[in-house]
Structure 1
Amino acid sequence: MKVSFFVYNFPVPSETFVINQIIYFVERGFDVEIISVLPGQMIDEFAAKDEHGLLQKTRYLLPAEENKNSARAISRFKTILKGLARGKLRTLPALNFKKYGYSAKNLSLPAIVAANKKTYEADLFIAHFGPAGVLANKLRKLGVLKGELATIFHGYDISTHRILRTYSEDYKELFRDSKFILPISKLWAEKIHALGVIPPARTLCASASIPITFISVRQSRSDRLFSC
């Protein structure tokens, strides 16, 4: 079974819970791939201690970007133009601001579509943090990703007012489309249930502090993917 982890940046050394979860799946024999939007931090230092070969399993959707918003926007715009020049027509739908919201407005979605020729396939994509799940869901609709989706919510992504304002409608779409929604605590599960758009059976606890128990997504009933 192939499991792909979808994140915005990899590696991020401070996100040990993400790294440990990936290692957990590798050690249990799953075919693991990491799909990262951008390169992470301290890659050389991480590589020196990368006993599980995680960097070799990582695919980056976009090259490294500058921190300034203007420079980032220019870089993405150039990527989009190059994609259109190569005849990547599926880039055009990704520019639909009304349909794809913030991910289209900040040009991340159309830039990713323009920059990637292949479709990344997995039995299950596990996205870390709500905004990453939103982006992964849109990339599935545009044919860049193919497979079931589960999104792990860590707390700030379901409680910060700015994020909720930005992604409120996208979250509802994500909840409808996902195989599983995985908050790390019952508190955040209740917050998600309060939105009223996802059956409780598909909202399962995925504690970041202890080992997880994986059940194949091929099972037809909604068994627990992770245990608290």
Structure 2
Amino acid sequence: MKIAFIVEKFPALTETFILNQAIGLIECGHDVDIYASYRDDTEKVHPDVIKYDLLAHTYYLQKVPEKYFLRVLQAIWLIVKNINKAPLAVVRSLNFFKYGKSAISLRLFYSILAFLDSQPYDIIHCQFGMYGIEGMIFRELGAIQGKLITTFRGYDISWYVQEYGDDVYKELFRKGDLFLTNCNFFRDRAIKIGCKDSKIIVHGSGIDCDKFKFKKRYFNSIVKSHNQANNSKIQIVTTGRLIEKKGIEYSLLAVIKVLNIYQNVEYKIIGKGYLEEHLQKLIHEFAVGDKVQLLGWKNQQEIIDILDNSHIFIAPSVTSKDGNQDAPVNTLKEAMSMGLAVIGTHHGGIPELVEDGVSGFLVPERDVDAIADKIIYLIENPEICLSMGKAGRSYVEKHYNMHKLNQELVNIYQQVSGNLIN
């Protein structure tokens, strides 16, 4: 099959779920092209991007000149140059009666240029709902052909809906061929705002369990600070963007509270974001710079190395003020796959991944005391970490193994496109 991915940015270190799907499809013998608005703003690149030469199959949308006069002049030249490739698509993109500002501004015309040399696809897979809307329009214009599948992953079915209203996907739900969500929580939400339950299924985001290898986590219970110190350390880690939805402020304050009792605790936070300065101020204010580190972005192997030397993983996601919510996050799956005891929140799709008291602990959102209590409980009952680690690995391997999920995705594509193999 020939498959097109429409995404916001590629490659992106924070969206390995898209990379995993692309690689899985290639390994199954299918052709994958990726259409993105721009590249990520980090120099770090996942090694599989290079291994599979994915940039050679990635096409970026044409940049639009800021000055309208220059935009018009360049558009005239581009129309002359491309009119023979897809004349109807070019003419339709200029229909301001139907497409309003996006046509008048010429942004719609510039957007379709990347697609004009493409062959018909069996599947057009749009990653995130807003790019499903774009894919729907591109297909409607005739710039791209194929069955349209859209995956809802988090902010597109939470914040985006709150921002633009429950009807924002009304037309997409009608014209799209199939919809996927990465958890039941978001499937239910999509149905609530108008998607037919017969057109939407849950297809989880997988990880490579062979790379995130399981290891039994052993550590000695740490003595309290007012008693004799001991040299063993408890390594705690969080991976995620430093934004409100990830709730990292609350895990940081919880660790600071734990440090008042146990001194041999270290906390590493992997990620970047607009809250970095705020978190750094908290670290400085509580004088815990020797115990808490903001590590910035790390590539996959660097993350694996950090997880391999850690004991507890915290995913303190919260519903942000703008309504943004998380699915069962891949960073949590990676930690569980490697046998870490995890602490998550009763938030979004996370309870579908973590079974409270079995494969980890779940606490209320923004509850610093509850997070601290669970950390202390794990420190004082280290044998629980081992049993939780085993349960977590087993669950992730069964439900989120990317090789199984990628084959499931191929089956979905074949059913939607009609390319069924007997």
Q: TM-score range by the shorter chain?
A: 0.7 to 0.9
Q: Go from structure 1 to structure 2 and tell me whether the alpha carbon gap of 1:32 and 1:96 turns closer, same or farther (over 3 Å shift).
A: same
CA offset at residue 147 of structure 1? 0.3
CA distance in 2, matches of 1:87, 1:50: 31
CA offset at residue 104 of structure 1? 4.3
Q: Go from structure 1 to structure 2 and tell me whether the alpha carbon gap of 1:19 and 1:217 turns closer, same or farther (over 3 Å shift).
A: closer
CA distance in 1, matches of 2:67, 2:150: 26
CA offset at residue 5 of structure 1? 1.1
> Is 1:186 equivalent to 2:184 in the alignment?
yes
- Letter paired with 2:51: E
Q: State the partner residue of 1:219.
A: 415
SS in 2 for 1:33: strand
Q: Go from structure 1 to structure 2 and tell me whether the alpha carbon gap of 1:92 and 1:12 turns closer, same or farther (over 3 Å shift).
A: same
- Letter paired with 1:82: W
Q: TM-score, normalised by structure 1?
A: 0.77
User: Which is higher, the Rg of structure 1 or of structure 2?
Assistant: 2
Gaps of 5+ in 2: 207-399
> Is 1:59 equivalent to 2:23 in the alignment?
no
> Is 1:206 equivalent to 2:203 in the alignment?
yes
Q: Go from structure 1 to structure 2 and tell me whether the alpha carbon gap of 1:56 and 1:97 turns closer, same or farther (over 3 Å shift).
A: same
Q: Go from structure 1 to structure 2 and tell me whether the alpha carbon gap of 1:79 and 1:194 turns closer, same or farther (over 3 Å shift).
A: farther
RMSD: 3.4
SS in 2 for 1:182: strand
Q: Go from structure 1 to structure 2 and tell me whether the alpha carbon gap of 1:31 and 1:161 turns closer, same or farther (over 3 Å shift).
A: closer
CA offset at residue 163 of structure 1? 6.5
CA distance in 2, matches of 1:74, 1:167: 37
> Is 1:93 equivalent to 2:289 in the alignment?
no
Aligned residue runs from structure 1 range 100-119, under 5 A: 100=99, 103-104=102-103, 107-114=106-113, 117-119=116-118
CA offset at residue 177 of structure 1? 1.3
Q: State the partner residue of 1:82.
A: 77
Give yes or no for contact 1:155–1:188 (8 Å, CA) kept in 2. Answer: yes
> Is 1:38 equivalent to 2:33 in the alignment?
no
Q: Go from structure 1 to structure 2 and tell me whether the alpha carbon gap of 1:38 and 1:87 turns closer, same or farther (over 3 Å shift).
A: same
SS in 2 for 1:7: strand
- Letter paired with 1:158: I
Query: % of aligned pairs identical?
Result: 27
SS in 1 for 2:145: strand
SS in 2 for 1:146: coil
CA offset at residue 181 of structure 1? 0.7
The CA deviation string for residues 132-187 of structure 1, in whole angstroms up to 9 with x for no partner, is 11111100011111000111111110111577517934x11111111211111111
Across the two proteins, how many residue pairs are aligned to each other?
Answer: 215
Give yes or no for contact 1:82–1:114 (8 Å, CA) kept in 2. Answer: no
Mean Cα deviation higher: 137-146 or 119-128: 119-128
The CA deviation string for residues 193-228 of structure 1, in whole angstroms up to 9 with x for no partner, is 1122x3212101121242211215443799xxxxxx
SS in 2 for 1:158: coil
SS in 1 for 2:205: coil
